[in-house]
Amino acid sequence: MNILIENDETSEYLTKGGQWTKNPLEGRQFPASEAAFQIAKREVVGKFNIVCHIPQTNQFINLNHGRGKGLPEPEGRASEATITNPTPGFDAPNLQAQAAENVQQT
């Protein structure tokens, strides 16, 4: 079992040399997910995942996720989310408008 940092956008893994590779067997292995998370937060990467890779079966388990020192989310991105109306009588369009307004204020 290997704990790796995965670039969420490219599905590549951070290597010991600070490069990115598609091969999880070449990825830098960490002793614990928290250690990987702390390193990933300092990397020049946008969204990242901390994954557990099981080489014998080539399976992956997502353990955590976050954002590194890469470019910030484009403005307005959060307001693009669509809120569906799961409950009768629930005013989803109004809630969505309020959420978009809150994002613009921050």
Burial of 101 (0-12, 13-18, 19+ CB in 10 A): exposed
Contact 60/38 with Cβ under 8 angstroms?
no
What confidence tens digit (pLDDT) does each residue in 41-86 have? 999 899 999 999 999 999 999 999 999 887 555 555 443 444 444 4
- Tell me the domain boundaries of the chain: 2-67, 74-106
Q: Could you tell me the pTM of the whole model? A: 0.65
Amino acid at the residue 99 = A
| pLDDT mean over 12-37 | 96
Contact 7/20 with Cβ under 8 angstroms?
yes
Phi, psi (rounded to 5 degrees) for 56: -60, -35
Mean pLDDT of the chain, nearest integer: 79
